[in-house]
Amino acid sequence: MTSPRHLRIIGLFLTALLADGSAAIHNVLDYGASADGRTKDTAAVQAAIDAATNNGGGTVRIPAGHTVVIGTIYLKDHVTLHVENGATLQGSPDLADYATDTHKMLYKNESHMDRCLIFAQKARSFAITGKGVIDGNGHPEFFTARKGGRPLLMRFLECRDISLRDITLINPAAWVSAWLYCDEITVDGIRIHSRVNRNGDGLDFDGCTNVRVSNSSFDTSDDSICLQASRPDRPCRNVTITNCIFESKWAGMRIGLLSRGDFANVTVSNCVFTNIEDSGLKIQLNEGGSMHNMVFTNLVMERVPRPVFMTFCQQRAHVDAPEEMYPMAEMRDFVFSNISIDNRTLDKNSAFFLTGLPEGRIENISLSDVRMVVSGGGTPEDARRTIKEYTLETLDGWWPEFYLVGTLPASGIFARHINGLNVRGFHLEIAGDDARPPFVFDNVTGGTLADSTVNGRPAGITTR
C-alpha cells in the first residue's frame, strides 16, 4: 500500500519531469506554502510563478481545500495562475505586505489606492483561471485611506494576451482591477462581488484595445465596468461586452471621465442591469479625447434610474492633468436599440439624460425600440425647471454627476446641445400622474420622434 509520504514524493518527481515543458504544474505546496489561511505564503507563490516562467511557462496551482494568504505577487510571461474549485487565494490584512512598485492610481485625489495584490508589467500571454476564489480581504477594519491605503485586487500595466476565466473575485479594498494600456484581453465566465469597502469598481480598462468581456456577473459598490483613456497616445478601442449581468451601487457601465485619449468601436449587447443606484450606461467625455462608433443593443434594465446618462463637457479627472483646460474634441455616432426598462418602483428621477454644451455638441444619436415604465410624480414646478450647464463653475472641481442637476423637466428623455437625435419606437408608460412633458429637446438640431407613445397615445417633442 502506498503511503501519503510516497504519494507526495511521486508528485514531486512528476513535477520535476514536467518542469521543462509549457504544461508543467507548479503546486504552491511544493514551494513551501502552508496554505492554512493564516501563514503568509507570498514567497512560496512567487517562487512557483518564477519557476513556471523561467521554464518557458506553466500553471501555478492553488489546490482545492486550501486558503493561501499572500501580499503582492507579480505575474509573468506564459504563466497561468489556476485557483482550483474549493481553493481561496486571499489577500493579507496587513498593508505592509503590499508592495509600492505597482504603478499608481490615475484619478486625482486617490493615491491611497496605489498598491495592489496581483501585479503584472509588460507581461505576455498569462492567465488567471479556475472555479476558485480570489478574496481581497479588503474590509475597512484592515484598509482605509486614514489607515494608509486601500489596495486594488489586480493591476496590469502594458501587458498583452491576457485571459481571466471562470474565477470569482470578491472583497477588494478598492477596485477589483485596473488594466492599463493592455492589448488582447479575454474575460469570460467570471463573478465579481465588491461591496465590503468604498469605490469598488469591477473591471477598469484604460487605454486598452481588443477587449472581450462575456458571460460574467457583477455586484459592485461602484462602476461595474469602466472604459477609460488616460493617455492621449493610448486609445480605448475595439471593445465587446455581451451576456453579462450588472448590479451596482453606482453605474453598470461608465465610459469616459479619464478621457485624454480616444474611444471608438464599442458594442454592448444582451446584458441585464438591475438595482443600479446611479446610471445604467454612463458615457462621459471631458478631457480632450474623441468618442465615436458605439452600439448598445438588447438590454434589460430594472430599477435603473438613468438608463443612459451622457455628458460632453470639460473637467480634469486625471491625477497629472495640466492646469490649462483640455479643448473639446468630438462625441458622435451612438446607437441605442431594443431596450426594456422597468422603473415603476423608483421615484420621479428616472429618465434618459443626454447633454452637451453649446460649444461642444453631441452628434448623431439613434434611439429606437425602447419600452420604459416609470412611476411619474413630476410637478408643474419640475416641468418649468431650467437645468444648469455642466461648466467648470457648476462642477466646482468635480466630474459631472446627476446630483448636480436634480429633477429633470421631462419624464422620458431630456436632451440638449445635440446635432441629430433620432428617436423611433419609444414607448413610455407612466404609472402615476406627471405634469412634465415626456420628451424635451433643448437646443437640439435635426431632432426627430417617430412611432412613439405615452400610455398608448402618440407622443410629440417639447422644444426649448
Q: Dihedral of the CA atoms 345, 347, 352, 356 (nearest 10)?
A: -160
User: What average pLDDT values come out for the chain (464 residues) when binned by 10 residues?
Assistant: 45 42 82 98 98 97 98 98 98 98 93 97 98 98 97 98 98 98 98 96 98 98 97 97 98 96 98 98 95 98 98 89 84 98 97 96 98 98 94 82 93 98 98 98 98 98 97
User: How confident is the model at residue 7, as a pLDDT?
Assistant: 42
Nearest to 202 by CA among 210, 194, 211: 194
End-to-end CA distance of the chain: 87
Query: What is the set of domains in the chain, with CATH numbers?
Result: 24-222 (2.160.20.10), 254-264+276-288+304-464 (no CATH)
Biggest CA-to-CA distance, the chain: 87
Q: Rounded distance, CA 33 to CA 180, Å?
A: 31
- Model confidence pLDDT, tens digit, residues 383-412: 999 998 988 788 887 888 998 899 999 999
User: How confident is the model at residue 18, as a pLDDT?
Assistant: 42
Q: Rounded distance, CA 64 to CA 85, Å?
A: 6
Nearest to 133 by CA among 68, 196, 52, 211: 68
User: How confident is the model at residue 440, as a pLDDT?
Assistant: 98
User: How confident is the model at residue 23, as a pLDDT?
Assistant: 57
Q: How far is CA 344 from CA 95, 126, 246, in A?
A: 45, 45, 19
